[in-house]
Amino acid sequence: MLSAKTETAEYDFVIVGAGSAGCVLAARLTEDLATSVLLLEAGVAKEPLATRIPAAFSKLFKTRHDWAYQSEPEPALLGRRLYIPRGKMLGGSSAMNAMIYIRGNPLDYDRWAAEGAEGWSYAEVLPFFQRSEDQARGALAGHGVGGPLRVEDARYRNPLSLAFVEACRQVGIPFNDDFNSGRQEGAGYYQLTQKAGRRWSAANAYLFPAIGRSNLTALRGAHAMRILFETDRTSGVEYVKDNRRFTARARREVILAAGAIGSPQLLLLSGVGSPESLSSLGIRVVVDLDGVGKNLQDHPASGVAFACTQPISLRNAETPLAYLEYAARRTGPLCSNIAEAGAFVRSYAEAQAPDIQFHFAPAYYVDHGFVRPPGHGFSIGPTLIAPLSRGRLTLRSAQPLAPPLICGNHLTEKADMKALLAGVKLAREIGAAAAFDRYRGAEYLPGAAATTDEELETHIRTTVELLYHPCGTCKMGTNAEAVVDPELRVRGVTGLRVADASVMPTIVRGNTNAPTIMIAERLASLLRGERGAGSVRAAS
């Protein structure tokens, strides 16, 4: 039972969500000790040991540290409901991801700018990637050093991962030592957001060093219920903590950093969205913005897996000896991020940039790790990184604690299936290369019996899952579908911004954590009025 009494406090900024973007903003804005910030995080529990051990990330799935969303039946995937993990703790999904540091392709950002997101070209966002980064290799090829986010080469590489990179070379995919140099194509080893063999989440990098500042209040277990408005201005946020209602007033601005699911959901609950859908739920319309919740994108992936004839896979990662090695030296298989190696390729020669990314795991990685086939194995996961299909998020009800309705419409565009089918075929070719001869056993997925395009498409529709990269639901731009402008201000109201993966107009070609951190770094710079970050119109 909620308390009827509402308690009120006032801050300069109220930030909703302590995920990657929220951690960045809280830390950067409170560097000015005259600026007060309230950071609201719905997750209650303290971050568990599994957040620190790289190889243990999937153990957090479907626990109290995970929002554990599920899609509605997907029309192109035989009506299957897809699992959508999202971190529910300080650091958000950066505390339970595979730690891969990928900026995306320069073409992604140049396309954003060309289509209305002025100031977001690759040349313009590069300084904010550099600002965030502490690159272990040094300031080479556009990298940064001295930033909060540690980026390192892996301290452990399984022999199967080395075989994958060699197999790629054997089928014509060249070696690439740095996917973030501006030249993305090729095969190589992923750099990771780790520090000395330990996960280095956005909370580790940004929030925890700032947590003792007197001008920063960070609350766990604080669930935002709605944004408060006074006519056309945002005045604050109502939230619930310990069954008591609170109002946080924002003297300057409210910033939503609740992610591509949480941010649009809160906007809709607060009356910002399509009048037709809001009115049907009895929600008073504050701002008519039809684009809220639309433009949902993610990276669908479908795996190819083989048995391994030698007992060298990560099935051995959780032995007592491995735990002792990790505890003593922060080395060994528990340092693995599972997806140790990868590649970026074009599914057809005329593509402007890579549209398929491979994630190689020296282990069976089936159904998010929930299915564990017997014995040792390895997995090659072709991932569609330039999808054309678009989905939508809507409200299930006007109750803030009810999960939203999510339908990605994944692979509804024929070109998406064609590209992913090409990726599955290439994954099989890589798995059949000579580099794997001494390791490769029988094909577990899709299985030797699947030979025709029709059979492989059936395999894709029955096994495809998402790679944990939802974005686009509060699109940035200037057209009618845009929810925020290029300075991330919600259109039609003052004092309200969104800064997370939801503002991406189109999904980047690669893992989305580094770009989300970049987005928050750029907004923090804008709000601080720093030169070179663009102008900021003060909320009035």
Q: What is the mean pLDDT of the chain?
A: 95
pLDDT at 457: 98
Structure tokens at 32: 């000015």
pLDDT of residue 536: 34
Q: Which two tokens stand for residue 274?
A: 């399509």
pLDDT above 80 (res 160): yes
Residue 36: how many CA atoms within 13 Å on its side-chain side?
10
Exposure string of 487-517, with b = 16+ CB inside 10 Å and e = fewer, is bbbbbebbbbbbbbbbbbbbbbbbbbbbbbb
What per-residue confidence (pLDDT) applies to 531? 62
pLDDT over 80 (residue 296): yes
Residue 105 has pLDDT above 50, yes or no: yes
For residue 3, pLDDT over 90 is answered with no
In this prediction, residues 41-57 reach a mean pLDDT of 90
Residue 537 scores a pLDDT above 50: no
- 8 Å CB contact between 505 and 122: no
Q: Average pLDDT, stretch 201-212?
A: 98
- Say whether 164 sits in a helix, a strand or coil: helix
List, for residues 471-481, the tens digit of each pLDDT value.
Answer: 999 999 999 99
Cis peptide before 470 (omega within 30 of 0): no
- 453-341-506 Cα angle (round to 5): 65
Does the pLDDT of residue 4 top 70, yes or no? no
Average pLDDT rounded to a whole number, residues 280-297: 97
Active-site positions read 469
SS3 26: helix
Model pLDDT, residue 5: 53
CA distance 191 to 203: 19
Return the pLDDT at 140.
Answer: 87
Q: Please name the amino acid found at residue 271.
A: G
* pLDDT tier for residue 532 given thresholds of 50, 70 and 90: low
Tell me the mean pLDDT in the region 313-342.
95
Q: What is the dihedral of CA 33, 34, 40, 43, to 10 degrees?
A: 10
User: Please, which pLDDT band fits residue 528 given cuts at 50, 70 and 90?
Assistant: very high
CA distance 49 to 62: 16
Is residue 396 over pLDDT 50? yes
228 closest CA partner among 286, 313, 293, 305:
286
Percent over 90 (pLDDT), the chain: 94
**Token digits of residue 7:** 């308690």
Domains and CATH numbers, the chain: 7-150+199-296+470-531 (3.50.50.60), 155-189+300-384+412-463 (3.30.410.40)
- Distance between CA atoms of 486 and 112, rounded to whole angstroms? 10
User: Who's near 276: CB < 8 A, 6+ residues apart?
Assistant: none
Contact 216, 37 (CB under 8 A): yes
